Amino acid sequence: MLRSEGGPRLAPTAQGRMRSIRSGRCWGCTYNFSAASVSLPFLPNPPVPSVVSEPISIYDSSGVELLRRELRLDPQRVRRWRTSLLKRFLPAEEALVDFPADRLAVHALAEHGRFDSGVDGATKLLLRTSAGMLVEAVILRIATGRTTLCISCQVGCAAACRFCATGKMGVARPLSVAEILDQILRAGQILREEDRSLRNIVFMGMGEPFHNEENLYPALETLTSPEFFNHAPTKILVSTVGIPEAMVRFAERFPKINLALSLHSARQEVREQLIPLAKRYPLDALREAVAEVNRIQQKSVMIEYLMLADVNDGDEDARQLMAWIEGLDVHVNLIPFNAIDGAPELTASDRPRREAFAARLKAAGIKTTMRYSLGQDIEAACGQLVRRLERHPRGGALPGPKSPTLPQAGE
Ligand code: SF4
């Protein structure tokens, strides 16, 4: 497990350039750094070195500006390739035709594999860090024509939720800003070839986003910046397992970006069995955080609720959930569980049980949606495929059926 011990930490950019990030004790769930102080892509007025020789990350505004000045290029050229590459998702060789492409580092992750579902519109992308670690991103092509991308923000995850394949990996490391954004660029380029556009982006892949605030926030700023991707904040959703102070920090910094809380039970003892972090962040504290996020954002918080047979799907579970929700502005997503190898004791609630649970919530006036799954044949659930390939690196046929359920941002 990696932990920063305070003081500056060096984070690799796309081509291994190292940059100091201000971080205090961070991601092992204990936070005391000021996320508001971090703004990687927008460093102001850097000193001008005489020569810039190594490739610059395309997300490094100050580095790109140095390069432009060194080459005495018109600023319009930079604007042109950013628009072509990050808004229209043209291939790099077309987008950078007007710029010395060899001076820029476009992709922070290498392609490792692509797995297209044979039964629905899901595609899982396996991408590789420079250290050889695998990262998952999942494209979901919904029948209505909407397209959602689910991306990762860590390799592995310290939260170790009982129902999650990624949680069984332990912690490897957080993804850099460029590595988070490259998942979007690569997916956008795939969708462009299909004449589709990327509508929703959800941070529900590998890792707990608020265990990587120092890179998550600059990535969100770059994603929504008119200068870069210009993606609508209302079409982005960040999902957390529940870290109250980070939820409020996030809402203050990104009032328009949607927040989802993976609740999974409104009974403290059940939640602690499913999510070890629940011991540190009890339900009362989470409820206060959701109320505060409601006050700041003036819109609903998504409540993710995995339906587990005889664990959290009974009448008493519904009653306690309704009591916990009372007075909050939330939208409950009931999610069918997809079994994972590491937790054979957990099984999915059957459809009648899920429907009865949903009916109770709806009768109480609670906004409720029953979700469905895509990618059953490609192990699209978070962490599943990476774990499977790590154990059987030569692969062969993809095992299944196991699948993800991903809500839409900004529906
Ligand atoms: S569900 Fe999310 S927070 Fe929990 S272990 Fe998996 S990736 Fe981490």
Measure Cα distances from 167 to 128, 162, 175, 224, 274 in Å.
19, 7, 16, 29, 11
Task: Please state, in angstroms and rounded to a whole number, the distance separating the CA atoms of residues 230 and 27.
Answer: 28
Give me the pLDDT at residue 20, please.
Answer: 31
State the DSSP string of 69-123. Answer: HHHT--HHHHHHHHIIIIIS---HHHHTTTS-GGGEE--SSEEEEEEE-SSSSEE
Task: Please state, in angstroms and rounded to a whole number, the distance separating the CA atoms of residues 129 and 4.
Answer: 20
Extract the tokens encoding 386.
């990476």
Tens of pLDDT along the chain (411 residues)?
Answer: 333 333 333 333 333 333 333 333 232 222 222 333 333 333 344 444 445 468 999 999 999 999 999 999 999 999 999 999 999 999 999 999 878 889 999 999 999 999 998 888 899 999 999 999 999 999 999 877 789 999 999 999 999 999 998 888 877 699 999 999 999 999 999 999 999 999 999 999 999 999 999 999 999 999 999 999 999 999 999 999 999 999 999 999 999 999 999 999 999 999 999 999 999 999 999 999 999 999 999 999 999 999 999 999 999 999 999 999 999 999 999 999 988 888 999 999 999 999 999 999 999 999 999 987 766 666 655 556 565 555 554 433 333 323 344 444 444
Distance of CA 137 to the CA centre of its chain: 9
Pocket test for ligand 1, best of 29, 154, 155, 161 (most atoms within 8 A of CB): 161
**Burial per residue of 145-154, b for 16 or more beta-carbon CB atoms within 10 angstroms, e otherwise:** ebbbbbbbbb
Q: Where are the domains of the chain?
A: 9-105, 110-391
Give me the pLDDT at residue 121, please.
Answer: 83
Whether 26 is catalytic: no
The CB of 134 under 6 Å from ligand 1? The reply is no
- Closest C-alpha among 65, 81, 26 to residue 217: 26
Whether 382 is catalytic: yes
Give me the pLDDT at residue 2, please.
Answer: 31
The CB of 349 under 6 Å from ligand 1? The reply is no
Give me the pLDDT at residue 381, please.
Answer: 58
Give me the pLDDT at residue 28, please.
Answer: 27
- Tell me how far apart the terminal alpha carbons of the chain are, to the nearest angstrom: 37
Give me the pLDDT at residue 388, please.
Answer: 56
The CB of 224 under 6 Å from ligand 1? The reply is no
Give me the pLDDT at residue 53, please.
Answer: 67
Extract the tokens encoding 82.
């950013």
Q: Is the dihedral of CA 236, 114, 127, 394 positive or negative?
A: positive
Q: What is the value of pTM for the model shown? A: 0.82
List the beta bridge partners of residue 116. 123
State the DSSP string of 235-260. Answer: GEEEEES--HHHHHHHHHH-TTSEEE
Distance 391 CA to ligand 1 centre (A): 20
Q: Which residue has the tokens 């059926």?
A: 401
CATH of domain 110-391: 3.20.20.70
Ranges of beta strands (E only) in 95-196 are 104-105, 110-116, 122-128, 134-141, 147-150, 154-156, 171-174
